[in-house]
Structure 1
Amino acid sequence: MARRTSLVSLGQISDINMTPLMDLTFILLITFIITFPLIEQGVAINLPKGKAADMMDAETRSISLNLEKQLYLDDVPVSHEELASAMSNIGLNEPNTTIYVRADRKLPYGDVVEIMRVLHDANITKMALVTEADQ
Structure 2
Amino acid sequence: MAFTNSQGRTQSSLSDINVTPFVDVVLVLLIMFMVTAPVLQSGIDVAVPKTKTVKEITEERLVISIDKQQRVYFGNEPVNIHDIPQKIREKIRDPRGQAIFLRADESVPFGAFATVMDAVKQSGVSNVSIVTQPLSEKNGSTR
The answer as to whether partners of 1:63 and 1:102 remain within 8 angstroms in 2 is: yes
Letter in 1 for 2:116: I
Check the 8 A contact 1:101/1:130 in 2, yes or no.
yes
1:128 Cα deviation (Å)? 0.3
Q: Are 1:115 and 2:116 an aligned pair? A: yes
**Is residue 56 of structure 1 aligned with residue 43 of structure 2?**
no
SS at match of 2:51: coil
- 1:78 Cα deviation from its structure 2 partner: 1.1
Aligned positions, number: 87
Q: Kindly report which structure 2 residues correspond to 1:28-107, keeping only aligned pairs within 5 A, or say none.
A: 49-58=51-60, 60-90=61-91, 93-95=93-95, 96-107=97-108
TM-score, reference length from structure 2: 0.53
The percent identity for this pair of structures is 17
Say if 1:48 and 1:62 are closer, same or farther in 2 by CA, change over 3 A: closer
Offset, 1:94: 3.3
CA shift, 1:111, in A, is 0.6
Please give the alpha-carbon distance, in whole angstroms, between the structure 1 residues aligned to 2:132 and 2:119.
20
Gaps of 5+ in 1: 1-46
Aligned residue for 1:62, secondary structure, equals strand
Which residue pairs with 1:41 in the alignment? none
Deviations 1:56-82 (A, max 9, x none): 224x10000001111111111111122
Task: Mark the runs of 5 or more structure 2 residues left unpaired by the alignment.
Answer: 1-48, 137-143
Contact 1:57 1:98 in 2 (8 A): no
Alpha-carbon contact 2:84-2:120 (below 8 Å) kept: no
Q: Distance in 2 between matches of 1:112 and 1:48?
A: 16
Report the 3-state secondary structure (helix = DSSP H, G, I; strand = E; otherwise coil) of the residue aligned with 1:64.
strand
User: Which AA in structure 2 matches 1:99?
Assistant: I
- The aligned amino acid for 1:133 is P
Q: Which has the higher strand share?
A: 2
* AA at the equivalent of 1:101: L
Q: 1:48: how far off? A: 6.6
1:97 deviates by 2.6
